A = this chain, B = another copy of it.
Amino acid sequence: MIVIDNAKDMRSRDNGKPCVLVPTMGALHAGHGKLISYGRRLAGKSGSLIVSIFINPTQFGPGEDFEAYPRTLDEDCSLCAAAGADIVFHPSVAEIYHEDSPEITADTKLIKTLCGPTRPGHFDGVCTVVKKLFELIKPDIAVFGKKDYQQLAVISRMTRELKLPVRIIGAETVREADGLAMSSRNRYLDAEQRAQAPAIRKALLKLKKDTTPETSARIKEAGDIIAREAPLGTITYLQVVDRGTMQEMQTIDRPALAATAVCFGKTRLIDNIEIDAIT
C-alpha cells in the first residue's frame, strides 16, 4: 500500500499511463494523422490513445452541411491505426444525445468575434459534445488543432470553468506544400478554387510580418491580397483578436491572433496565425 499526502501526486498517480483523446468528426486527412501521432507521443507506450469520430449535429447550423459532411469510416480507421491509435470511438447520435443530456453554453464573451456571429449555436454544440465525450472517455489529456483556434479557446475556458479534470493541448495546424491549411472541406474545392485558396495563408503571413502596430492597416492589406489572388473567395471575416479573450484588438500590444474565414462557393475555409506582441 502506498500513502499519498498531496493532490499533485494523487492526480499523477498513473502519469505513466495517461489516456489521451483526439476528438474528430471523421473525414480524416494527413492533418489529423499528425494530430493523432502527436497524441500517441503524449500517451506514451503504456498510455492509451483514443480517437473519437462523431459528426456532431448540434454544431451545424440550419444552412450548414451536416447531412453532406463526408463519412469515410473505413478509411478513417485505417488512418487511425497507422497513426498509432489504440481505440476508435464512434458512437451514434442517439447515444450521445439522449433525453437527459444537458446543453452546455459556450462563454459568450469568447464568441463575439470570428466564427461566433455567423455560426450561432455552433460553439454551444461543440461544448456540449466535448463535455459529453470527456465524461464518457475520461481522458487525462485532449488534443485540439489550432486551426480551430476559437474552438480551442472556448473548450479551454469551459474545461477551466467546469473544472473538468482534462488537460487541453493545442496542436499546430498542418498545411499542404503551398501553405493551405489541411481541412476535410478542401475536397470540395474545384481546381480553380483550390489554386486560389493558398492566398489565405499568404495574406495571414503578410499580416503577421507587417510592422504597423495598428491592426486596421494590416487587415486592409491582407484583405487586398485575398481579393486580388483569390477572386473566387468571399471573406466572411478577417480579424485580429486577443489570443486569450478573442476580443478585437486595435493595436498589437499583447499576444494576438489574426484569423479569417473565406468562402469558395459553399465551402468555407478558415485559417489563422499567432502574432506576438510588438515590443
Interface positions of A (Cβ within 8 A of B) = 1-7, 10-11, 13, 77, 80-81, 85-92, 95-96, 102, 135-138, 163, 165
Q: Give the CA-CA distance A165 to B139 in the complex, in Å.
A: 12
Say whether B1 contacts A77, CB under 8 Å. yes
Say whether A10 contacts B88, CB under 8 Å. no
Q: A7-B96, A7-B136, A10-B137 are in contact. Are A163 and B1 (CB under 8 A)?
A: no
Say whether A80 contacts B10, CB under 8 Å. no
| The one of B5, B88, B165 that contacts A90, using a Cβ cutoff of 8 Å | B5
A-B contact pairs, 12 of them (CB 8 A): A1-B81, A1-B87, A2-B87, A4-B87, A4-B88, A5-B89, A5-B90, A5-B92, A6-B91, A10-B137, A13-B87, A138-B165
Say whether A10 contacts B89, CB under 8 Å. yes
Q: A91-B6, A92-B6 are in contact. Are A1 and B86 (CB under 8 A)?
A: yes
The 9 residue pairs across chains A and B that have the minimum distance between CB atoms: A1-B81, A3-B88, A7-B95, A4-B89, A135-B165, A7-B91, A10-B136, A10-B89, A2-B87
> Smallest CB-CB separation from A165: which chain B residue?
B135
> Smallest CB-CB separation from A91: which chain B residue?
B7
> Smallest CB-CB separation from A1: which chain B residue?
B81
Question: Which of A5, A11, A80, A85 has the most chain B CB atoms inside 10 A of its CB?
Answer: A5
**Chain B residues, CB < 8 A from A11:** 136
Q: How far is the CB of A140 from chain B (nearest CB, A)?
A: 9
Q: Give the CA-CA distance A64 to B10 in the complex, in Å.
A: 29
Q: Give the CA-CA distance A77 to B1 in the complex, in Å.
A: 9
Question: Which of A1, A2, A5, A86 has the most chain B CB atoms inside 10 A of its CB?
Answer: A1
Q: A135-B165, A138-B138 are in contact. Are A77 and B10 (CB under 8 A)?
A: no
Q: Give the CA-CA distance A89 to B10 in the complex, in Å.
A: 7
Question: Which of A2, A3, A6, A77 has the most chain B CB atoms inside 10 A of its CB?
Answer: A3
Q: Give the CA-CA distance A7 to B92 in the complex, in Å.
A: 8
Say whether A91 contacts B135, CB under 8 Å. no
